[in-house]
Structure 1
């Protein structure tokens, strides 16, 4: 048991999700602050995707924690374990949606940059044609 991961503190067991929140949220905040100008219009979707990802990780960790507890008690081979396994599968499927949304968002940002560069290149070509 690792006290720094939130498993045991003051003689009682706690879920590991607190440790995930304490680590992941500041990392996302730093990442967003570093790229503030480049993602100004996409800040809300990135924040929503990040929060959904953290929630998904927390749900999976709690379910795995409950399954490990059931293993210790010897009750893992029961119908109650199916509930936690189904939740883990659902969380993994739910995590795929934000990843897909993030890919679409990145592709949209790249397309916007390409269009802006194309317009800038057309303007420079027009200016060059005037000079020649």
Structure 2
């Protein structure tokens, strides 16, 4: 991956993180105020789900930032990368559950069935992306294992020569 690509990705992540802080500081309190006429449990659940979703996206952003650092340093194919990849998988799965919970909350209210279906579809997409990252994790493991095998073979060949 080239340095300009990493710089652009980091810029996007920085903007997303800044935006997520604004959501936490300004939008979530506004949602709380705007839902003043609804039942308390519904308000609490809605704002909690939204906060959990934003938190999951922040975890993903930080982990991708760290993986980009490893790419730039040439150390992404190391066992320490698995922690970041695992955190991304868990955060995506959590986001899928949270979005499905939002759909359930909407279905219990007055939301149109089509909107509930779209939100369920979004939950399905988050779950699918989590599975794609699981596959990519397996590819990372294969690359690390092959790199270790190549190092072992090189060391054995050096001893022979």
- Measured against the shorter chain, the TM-score band is 0.5 to 0.7
1:109 deviation in Å? 1.0
Instruction: Name the count of aligned residue pairs.
Output: 101
TM-score of the pair, normalised by structure 2: 0.54
The C-alpha deviation readout for 1:57-116, integer Å capped at 9, x for no partner, is 1110110010011011110111111221121011100101111111111111128xxxxx
8 Å contact kept, 2:63–2:87 = yes
* TM-align CA RMSD: 2.7
Structure whose alpha-carbon radius of gyration is higher = 1
- Structure with the bigger percentage of helix: 2
- Normalising by structure 1, report the TM-score: 0.64
Segments of 5+ residues of structure 2 without an aligned counterpart are 1-6, 112-161
Q: SS state of the match for residue 42, structure 1?
A: helix
SS in 2 for 1:110: coil
Post-superposition, which runs of at least 4 consecutive aligned residues in structure 1 deviate over 3 A?
4-7, 38-41
Say whether residues 1:107 and 2:111 are aligned partners: no
Q: Which stretches in structure 1 are left out of the alignment for 5+ residues?
A: 8-15, 112-132
